Amino acid sequence: MIKFSLCIEPVLAEIDFYDRIKVAAELGLDAIEFWDTEGRDVSRIGRLATENNLKVAICCVKGAWSKRMNLPAPFVVENVKESVRLAKEMGCNSLIALSGDVEGKADSQKNILIENLKRVADILVKEDVTLNLEALNSLVDHKGYYLDSSSIGFEIVKCVGCDHIKILFDVYHMQIMEGNIIENITKNTGVIGHFHSAGVPGRHEHFNGENDYHSILNTVDKSGYNRFFGLEYWPTYDNKQSIADVMKYLKG
């Protein structure tokens, strides 16, 4: 059975960040997730999640947008170590990391990402934390972002060869960049560590867009994937009702 996680950053803006955890539980989610640990009380997040029978599915490495995985190796290694510590403090065993931006015409970043990921592999295995490299779209939301292809992401992860290093497959981003969602998931389930999702276009409710999420979820379910399917979207109407409607649609 698919387990659903709600990213509490883009939703429920009128509610205190920490209070959103209880709301997620009331709306039937299995877990919560958020972006950056900087400025967050991770102990409080972990405690509130436990009190509301939720898991903390995933969060970004500390300072994810400024501390990219293509930076000098010592910098990357230290940030991953600190991010693992913060994640484990709240009972979370999964992290999101980002590539850098395109810096030239030559594809030089792929090898840098592979080498840096290899350097943190032992840390992740020892601490039993999975690092998920995220592919984003470079057409609408993140112009200049290097890793805008799931196929390159899968290739990078397969080259690293560590079961604690995977790809975050964001259906919204990859629909914009390449489509072919179901086949790409089916062929690469073993190297996908987390999913994000939203309606395309607009990044709003899942039922307003060009993706058939029932078919996508059926594919994920049949693949044997046993982690979380994350909802990372911006509601277009009353947030609680929107989340409830999305959950009803996805479970329908």
Domain at 231, CATH number: 3.20.20.150
**Mean pLDDT within 204-226:** 96
**Mean pLDDT within 81-91:** 98
Residue 245 belongs to domain spanning: 3-251
Would you say residue 105 has pLDDT above 80? Answer: no
| Beta-bridge mates of residue 168 | 134, 194
**Mean pLDDT within 123-147:** 97
What is the count of structural domains for the chain? 1
What is the pLDDT at residue 221? 96
Would you say residue 108 has pLDDT above 90? Answer: no
pLDDT tens digits, 151-168: 999 999 999 999 999 999
Q: Which residues of 67-100 are buried (b: 16+ CB within 10 A; e: fewer)?
A: bbbbeeeeebeebbeebbebbeebebbbbbbbbb
Would you say residue 234 has pLDDT above 90? Answer: yes
> What mean pLDDT value characterizes the chain?
97
What is the pLDDT at residue 79? 98
What is the pLDDT at residue 229? 98
What is the pLDDT at residue 16? 98
What is the pLDDT at residue 104? 78
Q: Is 160 left (phi over 0), alpha (psi -120 to 50) or beta?
A: alpha
What is the pLDDT at residue 103? 85
Is the dihedral angle over the CA atoms 219, 222, 225, 230 positive or is it negative? Answer: positive
Confidence of residue 170 (pLDDT cuts 50, 70, 90): very high
Q: pTM here? A: 0.97
**Mean pLDDT within 201-223:** 97
Query: Whole-angstrom Cα distance, residue 113 to residue 98?
Result: 10
Strand pairing category for 130-134 and 94-98: parallel
What is the pLDDT at residue 181? 98
**Mean pLDDT within 194-212:** 97
**Mean pLDDT within 31-42:** 96
